[in-house]
Amino acid sequence: MDVVRTVMRRELAAYFATPLAYVFIVIFLALAGAFTFFVGGFFERGQADLESFFVFHPWLYLFLVPAVAMRLWAEERRTGTIELLLTLPASTFEIVLGKFLAAWIFTGIALALTFPFWIIVNYLGEPDNGVILASYLGSWAIAGAFIAIGACASALTKNQVIAFVLGAAICFLFLMSGVDLVLAAFKPWAPPVVVDIVASFSLLTHFNELMKGVVSAATAVYLVTLVACCLIVNTLIVELEKAA
Amino acid sequence: MQEMVRLERLTKRFGDVRAVEEVSFSVGRGEVLGFLGPNGAGKSTTMRMLTGYLLPTSGTAKVMGFDVVERAREVKKRIGYLPEGAPLYADMSPLALLRFVGGMRGLEGKELERKIARAIELTSLEEVAHRPIDTLSKGFRRRVGLAQAILHDPPVLVLDEPTDGLDPNQKHEVRKLIKAMSAEKAIIVSTHILEEVDAVCDRAVIIARGRIVADATPEELERRAPNHNAVRVTIDRERAEEAATALRTLNTVREVRRVEEVDGVATLLVLPTNGADIGATVSQLLHARGIRVERFAVERGRLDEVFRALTANAAT
Ligand SMILES: Nc1ncnc2c1ncn2[C@@H]1O[C@H](COP(=O)(O)OP(=O)(O)OP(=O)(O)O)[C@@H](O)[C@H]1O
Ligand SMILES: [Mg+2]
């Protein structure tokens, strides 16, 4: 566990070592605000809740989170530091986990910095803070799933741009798999079970549940499984490159 | 001598490329092994298998009795490794990097700080300890890489071109450091600089195209040089032909070459048969004929010639 923490601390420090982290946070806050007020019609809705704020998160994350995750492995490979890292006495999984946690915490920090929205709704009315908390957790969980996916993409290449595009594309598929457009592609030929499975992969469906304040076991299991699978795949990718 | 590292028929293929082919050798405590070979010979690949960065295609390697594949973690704990080109996290300072590496190696608190101080002192990094690594010169970066490798005072050191890019003074310092640490450790150093082999290594393994072509002490290697024990004499030009003819009659002499003629003197290169020690014989012969010798030198044989001969053969 010490190793995981050491890796995590280094990665987190690396985020803040460049202006990129601050740029990212500013962009995230600016976009979150813009969407909430202009697109979501926060004031016009006349309701004391943060739905118009959270509803855009998956779409923001689609572009921003792969950008956070893209450097995790690709950068190590490009600069050769991966050789230093992988010859230290740690298991590959510990390193994978440490990197994932660092990126996830980083998105958590960005998310936490949206607290003024919460203050505003509480000032304007009496929102259901339980629902807001569930939404925050849901939002952070989606970010975690995207980080785990983005980290896998990053492990596949030494080019951060490729890592970003690949990561965003896979995240998009996971996000959209519950949407009619995607399901329509399966319905004509696949048995209903398969269609249901594909639909249940959808992050969006689960996120909508969370936004309503419903934290179901199915959602929790789904998210934990998704992240765990990605971490394992990430570990395998790194291990396989050793055997190249 | 306690055996600390052992490679047995270690092999690595990248697709069709045979990077390392059945390499076997061992290194004992107190030994500094020079690992030589032309570019692309497979030195770095061998070191990467030893340090757990790459998995061997076949064969085994053991460090302090632990298999590098089965017991990778135990092996990594016991090795200090400087990868080729000394890759480092550019955004960190040397101090932060050493704290990170120390943390990964399970060091903490006072002990960590003590070891960091020691590594910084040994590699003379004091003045740059707080600067970001990407602002450091190549020489300093190499030394940060070295500091990181010796941080935990490991029993086995694997250094891939540790003096590459250092100025002559720094090279000297690094060699001194390697020498000073060698008593208790097994050290493997890859290099392209042959003088380094003379300066620090007890033994040299030369590989070419992934295969070992020599495993010997530097002295033994020098003995294999074509001009090992050759005698270079400078004498009166008038009598050079006479001396050459006389020297050729000796059966310990393989060949006599006239290599240089200036200002009335000529220099003869007398090559011995099978590297025999012919210094005394040559000197006596010339003396007996009353030929005055201006200069007289016995050559040791140069490692770079041996290196070239050995590695050129493997290429064909
Ligand atoms: N990841 C890789 N994929 C494919 N081929 C590789 C890989 N790494 C090394 N090689 C090949 O393996 C051979 C040995 O390379 P290696 O880096 O071990 O040589 P070296 O002795 O360290 O050379 P140098 O003196 O230039 O550092 C080379 O032909 C190289 O091209
Ligand atoms: Mg090399």
Nearest ligand by distance to the CA of B193: 1
On whether the CB atoms of residues B59 and B25 are closer than 8 A, the answer is no
Which candidate, B239, B250, B245, B237, places its Cα nearest to that of B281?
B250
pLDDT of chain B, 316 residues: tens digit per residue: 789 999 999 999 999 999 999 999 999 999 999 999 999 999 999 999 999 999 999 999 999 999 999 999 999 999 999 999 999 999 999 999 999 999 999 999 999 999 999 999 999 999 999 999 999 999 899 999 999 999 999 999 999 999 988 889 989 999 999 999 999 999 999 998 888 888 899 999 999 999 999 898 988 888 887 778 888 989 888 888 888 888 888 888 888 888 888 888 888 888 888 878 888 888 888 888 888 888 888 887 777 778 888 888 665 4
Ligand 1: residue whose CA is nearest its atom 8: B45
pLDDT at B101: 97
* Adjacency order of strands within the sheet including B186-190: B79-82, B156-160, B186-190, B32-36, B203-208, B211-216
pLDDT at A48: 60
pLDDT, mean over chain A: 87
What does the pLDDT look like over A53-63, one tens digit per residue? Answer: 788 888 889 98
- Using the Cβ of A130 and the Cβ atoms of chain B, whether some distance falls under 8 Å is answered with no
The 3-state secondary structure of B259-284 reads EEEECCEEEEEEEEHHHCCCHHHHHH
Q: Where does CATH 3.30.70 sit in chain B?
A: 231-299
Residue A211, pLDDT above cutoff 80: no
B83 to A7: CB separation less than 8 angstroms, yes or no: no
Which single residue is written with the structure tokens 């934290």? A215
Ligand 1: residue whose CA is nearest its atom 30: B40
Task: Report d(CA B195, CA B60) in Å as an integer.
Answer: 31
What does the pLDDT look like over A108-166, one tens digit per residue? Answer: 999 999 888 888 888 888 888 888 888 888 889 999 999 999 999 999 999 999 999 99
pTM: 0.88
Give the β-pairing of B211-216 and B17-28.
Answer: unpaired
pLDDT at A42: 62
pLDDT at B316: 46
Q: How far is CA B91 from CA A10, A84, B196, B243, B291, in A?
A: 10, 15, 32, 68, 69
Cβ under 8 Å to A: B residues 114-153: 148
Task: Report d(CA A127, CA B267) in Å as an integer.
Answer: 102
Q: Sorting pLDDT into bands at 50, 70 and 90, what band is A184?
A: confident
Half-sphere exposure of B28 (CA within 13 A, CB side): 5
**Ligand 1 site-directed mutation target among B10, B23, B44, B57, most atoms within 8 Å of CB:** B44
A72-87 as b/e: b if 16+ CB within 10 A:
bbbbbbebbbbbbbbb
Residue B179's identity, in one-letter code, is: K
Give the β-pairing of B186-190 and B32-36.
Answer: parallel
User: How many Å lie between the centroid of ligand 2 and the Cα of residue A94?
Assistant: 28
Residues of chain A found within 8 Å of residue B106, distances taken between Cβ atoms: 2, 89
pLDDT at A43: 64
From the CA atom positions of chain B, what is the Rg in Å? Answer: 24
On whether the CB atoms of residues A36 and A53 are closer than 8 A, the answer is yes
For A83, the closest of B87, B92, B108 (CB atoms) is B87
The phi and psi torsions of B120 (rounded to 5 degrees) equal -65, -40
B90 to A79: CB separation less than 8 angstroms, yes or no: yes
- Using the Cβ of A129 and the Cβ atoms of chain B, whether some distance falls under 8 Å is answered with no
Residues of chain B found within 8 Å of residue A86, distances taken between Cβ atoms: 52-53
Ligand 1: residue whose CA is nearest its atom 14: B42
Cβ under 8 Å to B: A residues 94-123: none
Top CATH class, B231-299? alpha beta
Sign of CA dihedral B86, B36, B10, B27: negative
For B106, the closest of A2, A91, A243 (CB atoms) is A2
Q: Which residue has the higher pLDDT, A79 or B312?
A: A79
A89 to B76: CB separation less than 8 angstroms, yes or no: yes
- Closest CA in chain B for residue A17: B91
CA-based max dimension of chain A: 60
User: How many Å lie between the centroid of ligand 2 and the Cα of residue B158?
Assistant: 12
On whether the CB atoms of residues B190 and B43 are closer than 8 A, the answer is yes
Which ranges of A156-216 would DSSP assign to H, the alpha helix?
A: 160-176, 180-186, 192-200, 203-211
Task: Report d(CA B301, CA A228) in Å as an integer.
Answer: 62
Sequence spans of domains, chain A: 2-243
pLDDT at B310: 83
B interface test, pick of A84, A235, A241 with most B CB neighbours within 10 Å:
A84
A interface test, pick of B89, B135, B157 with most A CB neighbours within 10 Å:
B89
On whether the CB atoms of residues B29 and B35 are closer than 8 A, the answer is no
Residues of chain A found within 8 Å of residue B104, distances taken between Cβ atoms: 3, 6-7, 88-90
B137 Cα to chain A: minimum distance (Å): 16
User: How many Å lie between the centroid of ligand 1 and the Cα of residue B210?
Assistant: 9
From the CA atom positions of chain A, what is the Rg in Å? Answer: 19
CA-based max dimension of chain B: 78
- Closest CA in chain B for residue A88: B76
Q: Which residues does ligand 1 sit against, CB inside 6 Å?
A: A 244; B 14, 17, 19, 37, 39-45, 84
Which candidate, A79, A237, A96, A61, places its Cα nearest to that of A153?
A237
User: How many Å lie between the centroid of ligand 1 and the Cα of residue A41?
Assistant: 59
pLDDT at A234: 97
- Residue B33, SS3 per DSSP: strand
Half-sphere exposure of B63 (CA within 13 A, CB side): 28
Task: Report d(CA B61, CA A228) in Å as an integer.
Answer: 33
State whether CATH 3.40.190.10 applies to domain B3-223: no
